[in-house]
Amino acid sequence: MDHRRSIRRRPSPRPLAAALVATGLAVAGAVPALAPAAADPRQQEPSPLAVGTGGAISTVDPEASRVGLEVLRRGGNAVDAAVAAAAALGVTEPYSAGIGGGGYFLHYDAETGVVETIDGRETAPQAMPHDAFVDPATGEPYNFTPELVTSGVSVGTPGTPATWDLALERWGTLSLAEALRPATQLARRGFVVDETFRSQTLDNAERFAAFPATAELFLPGGDAPAVGSVFRNRDLADTYSLLAKHGVEAFYGGRLAQEMVDAVQHPVTDPATDLPVPPGYLELEDLAGYEALVREPTRVDYRGLDVYGMAPSSSGGSTVGEALNILERFDLAGMSDAEYLHHYLEASALAFADRGAAVGDPAYVDVPLKTLLSDEYAAERACLIDPAKALPKPLPPGDLTADGEPCTAAAPVEDPDTENVSTTNLTVVDASGDVVEYTLTIEQTGGSGIVVPGRGFLLNNELTDFTAVWDEADPNRIEPGKRPRSSISPTLVMQDGAPVLALGSPGGSTIITTVLQTLTNRIDRGMPIGEALAAPRAAQRNTATVTAEPAFIEAYGPALEAYGHTLEASGDAFSSAAEIGAATAIEIGPDGLLTAVAEPQRRGGGAALVVDPVRH
């Protein structure tokens, strides 16, 4: 298939105007120019803010952002740059993303004005039974840790290669081979290990040591690579070269496909490991039949802005959208910080209650998306919020099947959440005004822990996102071929038909709260986009406690506890970091001026770059 297309030149997008609080762009003082290239191309420094024109990219990693920027400079469009950068993230962020996983891809076409998305979510194998997560030896569900997370049974059919191929075919100007070339070179020459890479390796050392192929790659000599050393992945370079030469058919069929099946069905483990590593159900037919799906996005109107998101199988667009509709009934701009955050937390809890009750793979579940995103339903949910006191959590879902009575409540329900905080995200805008927001993942930090021998990439453990115990009434129950519910939330904000802001984040179910908090920080609270993204975070996912970063607890804990909120410091069994999310965003201002932002500190800091920097 010929992926080449002519590169389109389009007018600059319209500026962000009256709907946002008039605070100006996220530029405080002088804007630094792009740093000159270091003598060693592997030496890349984080750059959380860049302002300019001609295109922009923001990722969590300097190497990946550099790859995407070079594609833009050479005339590639946003899709070309996004795929090239995503492939680079598979090299430098192998514990968060890669071809062994999946993701969700949002695209805006400036020529047509159309927003479309690709659902590249992993699927359950066709042979997977309803009781796949039940230990046959005991009749009880496997423990989440360590049995499910480090296993073949948690591996879903990967969707990332199919997503790249479909995006390039549909909207790109490069072939897959051209888009993979920079990442292939990066994998061969290597990148400099930072503290985040080393600490993530150490956090997963026991799991990685259980598999000889994984230990050989990520624990050379029995230890994590040292900070400042150069990490090379020649096996992944060879795998990328295979896909460049033969296309994604070489991934979904043939020898590589058989090797993935073998690794899942018969995991090769070190005799010394104590981890049980249950085998999985992936078969060649699952790989051969995988399809990435083009879906219509979700859309809500929020204070005169159109907010587009990801439809099911992800719950991101519906949950962010419902929470925004609830919050639109309140004057957040006129509130104190504590009042605003109280309403943000309550709206999030209400939306999460409905997410757990109603959202799943639409091929298997009748998702009441129209109701979830309606203003009428949001009004019913909003009137439950007490402006002076937190509601007891967990909250019940609303009546999504009929016209409910406003402000009614039912018995609280538990919605166990096992979606992990890893994943990675990128944002791209090109010179023509096309936009890509793309979140890709292998689930846990380190995925299943299983490296396909000799291939250089980890397999996902995304099926842990299913509810472990099968329940016919649960929209996220295990079923053959089904896509587990996700929280990935690539988001595009438009005004008068033109994009003004794109953003997304990793973070499991905290993706939803990170995107929601960043949007309300920017739109309602008037923070410049860099501050809106960097602000301390808290996540209320319809649980008894609010997960919050230490800085958030220090700043707002006493005030929110006065409302009845209980705050608990964030943390993760697979990472030593107490961070929520690692977002990226690009704001599109007057005359096409782009403000690209990344995390200044989370995950060691991200990298925002523009083609033509503004110099002051």
- 166 and 282 in a single domain? The answer is yes
**What is the tens place of the pLDDT at every residue in 167-217?**
999 999 999 999 999 999 999 999 999 999 999 999 999 999 999 999 999
Average confidence (pLDDT) over 414-418: 51
The last residue of one of the domains, among 401, 431, 465, is 465
Average confidence (pLDDT) over 476-493: 97
pLDDT value at position 407?
Answer: 66
pLDDT value at position 29?
Answer: 29
- 454 and 415 in a single domain? The answer is no
Phi, psi (deg, nearest 5) at residue 600: -75, -25
- 217 and 313 in a single domain? The answer is no
Residue 114 lies in a domain: no
- 149 and 264 in a single domain? The answer is yes
pLDDT band at 247 (very low <50, low <70, confident <90, very high): very high
Residue 198 lies in a domain: yes
**What is the tens place of the pLDDT at every residue in 81-133?**
999 999 999 999 999 999 999 999 999 999 999 999 999 999 999 999 999 99
Tokens at residue 412, please? Answer: 């609280």
- 333 and 408 in a single domain? The answer is yes
Q: With 80 as the cut, is the pLDDT of residue 26 above it?
A: no
Catalytic residue among 423, 441, 445, 491: 423
Beta strands in 79-153 (DSSP E): 102-109, 114-120
Tally of structural domains, the chain: 2
What span, in angstroms and rounded, lies between the C-alpha atoms of 568 and 192?
A: 34
pLDDT band at 406 (very low <50, low <70, confident <90, very high): low
- 236 and 153 in a single domain? The answer is yes
424, 440 in Cβ contact below 8 A?
yes
pLDDT value at position 254?
Answer: 95
- 400 and 514 in a single domain? The answer is yes
What span, in angstroms and rounded, lies between the C-alpha atoms of 558 and 410?
A: 30
Residue 432 lies in a domain: no
Residue 363 lies in a domain: yes
**What is the tens place of the pLDDT at every residue in 38-67?**
334 555 666 999 999 999 999 999 999 999
The last residue of one of the domains, among 465, 500, 527, is 465
CA 594, 599, 601, 602: dihedral to nearest 10 degrees? -170
Average confidence (pLDDT) over 427-441: 98
- 453 and 348 in a single domain? The answer is no
- Hey, is 530 helix, strand or coil? helix
Residue 357 lies in a domain: yes
What's this model's pTM, rounded to 2 decimal places? 0.91
What span, in angstroms and rounded, lies between the C-alpha atoms of 581 and 584?
A: 10
- 299 and 278 in a single domain? The answer is no
508 Rama class: left (phi>0) / alpha (psi -120 to 50) / beta: left
54, 602 in Cβ contact below 8 A?
no
Residue 520 lies in a domain: yes
Tokens at residue 491, please? Answer: 């988001």
Picking from 88, 261, 40, the residue whose alpha carbon sits closest to that of residue 186 is 88
399, 368 in Cβ contact below 8 A?
no
**What is the tens place of the pLDDT at every residue in 516-551?**
999 999 999 999 999 999 999 999 999 999 999 999
What span, in angstroms and rounded, lies between the C-alpha atoms of 365 and 469?
A: 17
112 among known catalytic residues: no
Q: What is the CATH number of the domain that holds 326?
A: 3.60.20.40
**What is the tens place of the pLDDT at every residue in 440-462?**
999 989 999 999 999 999 999 99
- 214 and 189 in a single domain? The answer is yes
- 157 and 202 in a single domain? The answer is yes
HSE-up of residue 174 (Cα within 13 Å, Cβ side): 23
- 160 and 264 in a single domain? The answer is yes
Tokens at residue 194, please? Answer: 């930072």
Residue 605 lies in a domain: yes
What span, in angstroms and rounded, lies between the C-alpha atoms of 608 and 440?
A: 18
Domain coverage including residue 553:
294-420+487-613
- In this structure, the chain runs to a length of 616
Residue 470 lies in a domain: no
Q: Which amino acid is at 430?
A: D
